[in-house]
């Protein structure tokens, strides 16, 4: 696959990516090279990654790892990593390579951006979700009290290395999670992209046009609006409710934790329904999209109490202004409208559609 050049960093693919990375390591005078992993990428990806790197110039790598899971994407984990960096003698000439999924790239980018006021980092995403979404765009950060991404900065990596070989290490649930973001990219971009996405059998997923194209869609939108003042907000379709659902399930004692993709799929179903009421999005088209979601993601049950708690969490969404909740909605596939106000009554109605009407 051909490299993608964004305004701020390149995205390299496959074996060519390692050639570019090795050249970068050779040409920069790096005091320390730290590879940040979680417990899964230590087990499944670290050895593969290290085997691709040149061992010239007596180069050595320091691995720092933390337990896997969204519940560890917090300041406490950052403090442990900051201390490990200090003990390893890291300084502003060091480099962090974030090898992992979205939790690793989000947290690792934040750690690199804040330790000693910041040094360079490279993202090497190992999940489909991180490859097509989380590692791209410069958003770094951690959760606060299990509220998604409350603390963070926008800071770009030096490059992104994408090797599809790591997808072979993933369970189906993680492939589905990343595919949810690919569906989102198709819905906000064009009917042509949606037509291509809906022909994919995710249980026999072949990396090709849709994988590369999804990355291209996000990187082009971010290039136009890196600090999310306008058009980049379209990437949040499904995320207003989706993030609240994800945070709720992470905190709940009676709900199983949902993956990011599962949560965003629910968010897109609900926000698709809201779009039909607010913007006249075609109801038959919306129903067909939602049935496609249900072929991949099982329904999650929510009680009235659950729904009220999820709505309370919406106040933490970063798109909000002056206490008002702002949604990203669809007028049509590829026609997205930002900064839409939605009242609690309609949000509850969307949950009832999801729970009772959608088959």
The structural domains of the chain, ordered by start, are 4-169 (3.40.50.1970), 172-357 (1.20.1090.10)
- Asked if 156 and 9 count as a contact pair (C-beta separation under 8 A), the reply is yes
Chain length of the chain: 359
Could you say which of 12, 185, 233, 260 is catalytic? 260
Q: What is the CB neighbour count within 10 angstroms for residue 145?
A: 9
Tens-digit pLDDT profile for the chain (359 aa)?
Answer: 899 999 999 999 999 999 999 999 999 999 999 999 999 999 999 999 999 998 766 788 999 999 999 999 999 999 999 999 999 999 999 999 999 999 999 999 999 999 999 999 999 999 999 999 999 999 999 999 989 999 999 999 999 999 999 998 899 999 999 999 999 999 999 999 999 998 887 766 555 557 899 999 999 999 999 999 999 999 999 999 999 999 999 999 889 999 999 999 999 999 999 999 999 999 999 999 999 999 999 999 999 999 999 999 998 887 777 677 899 999 999 999 999 999 999 999 999 999 999 88
Could you say which of 70, 181, 262, 271 is catalytic? 181
Q: Does the active-site annotation cover 298?
A: no
Q: Does the active-site annotation cover 59?
A: no
Query: What is the spatial distance between Cα 354 and Cα 359, in angstroms, rounded to a whole number?
Result: 9
| 182: its two tokens | 């690919």
Q: What is the CB neighbour count within 10 angstroms for residue 31?
A: 12
| 208: its two tokens | 């090709």
Could you say which of 73, 148, 184, 232 is catalytic? 232
- Asked if 261 and 179 count as a contact pair (C-beta separation under 8 A), the reply is yes
Query: What is the spatial distance between Cα 86 and Cα 36, in angstroms, rounded to a whole number?
Result: 14
Q: Does the active-site annotation cover 236?
A: yes
Q: Does the active-site annotation cover 255?
A: no
- Asked if 178 and 131 count as a contact pair (C-beta separation under 8 A), the reply is yes
Could you say which of 12, 68, 73, 139 is catalytic? 139
Q: Does the active-site annotation cover 181?
A: yes
Q: Does the active-site annotation cover 218?
A: yes
């Amino acid at each position: 696959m051909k490299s993608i050049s964004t305004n701020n960093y390149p995205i390299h693919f496959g074996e060519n990516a390692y050639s570019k990375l090795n050249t970068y390591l050779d040409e920069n005078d790096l005091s320390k090279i730290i590879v940040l992993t979680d417990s899964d990428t230590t087990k499944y990806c670290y050895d593969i990654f290290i085997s691709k790197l040149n061992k010239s110039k007596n180069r050595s790598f320091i691995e720092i790892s933390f337990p896997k899971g969204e519940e560890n994407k917090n300041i406490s984990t950052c403090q442990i990593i900051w201390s490990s960096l200090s003990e390893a003698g890291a300084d502003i000439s060091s480099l962090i390579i974030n090898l992992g999924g979205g939790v690793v790239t989000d947290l690792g980018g934040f750690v690199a951006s804040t330790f000693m006021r910041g040094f360079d980092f490279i993202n090497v995403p190992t999940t489909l979700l991180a490859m097509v979404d989380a590692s791209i765009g410069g958003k770094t950060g951690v959760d606060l009290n299990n509220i998604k991404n409350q603390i963070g900065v926008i800071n770009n990596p030096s490059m992104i290395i994408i090797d599809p070989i790591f997808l072979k290490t993933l369970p189906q649930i993680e492939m589905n999670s990343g595919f949810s973001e690919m569906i989102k990219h198709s819905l906000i971009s064009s009917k042509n992209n949606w037509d291509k996405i809906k022909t994919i059998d995710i249980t026999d997923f072949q990396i090709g046009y849709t994988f590369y194209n999804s990355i291209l869609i996000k990187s082009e939108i971010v290039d136009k609006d890196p600090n999310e003042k306008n058009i980049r907000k379209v990437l949040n379709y499904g995320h207003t409710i989706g993030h609240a659902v994800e945070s709720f399930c992470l905190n709940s004692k009676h709900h199983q934790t949902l993956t990011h993709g599962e949560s965003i799929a629910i968010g897109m179903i609900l926000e698709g329904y809201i779009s039909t009421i607010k913007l006249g999005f075609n109801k038959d088209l919306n129903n067909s999209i939602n049935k496609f979601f249900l072929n991949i993601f099982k329904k999650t049950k929510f009680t009235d109490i659950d729904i009220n708690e999820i709505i309370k969490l919406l106040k933490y969404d970063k798109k909000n202004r002056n206490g008002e909740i702002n949604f990203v909605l669809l007028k049509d596939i590829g026609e997205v409208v930002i900064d839409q106000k939605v009242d609690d009554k309609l949000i509850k109605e969307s949950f009832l559609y999801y729970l009772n009407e959608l088959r």
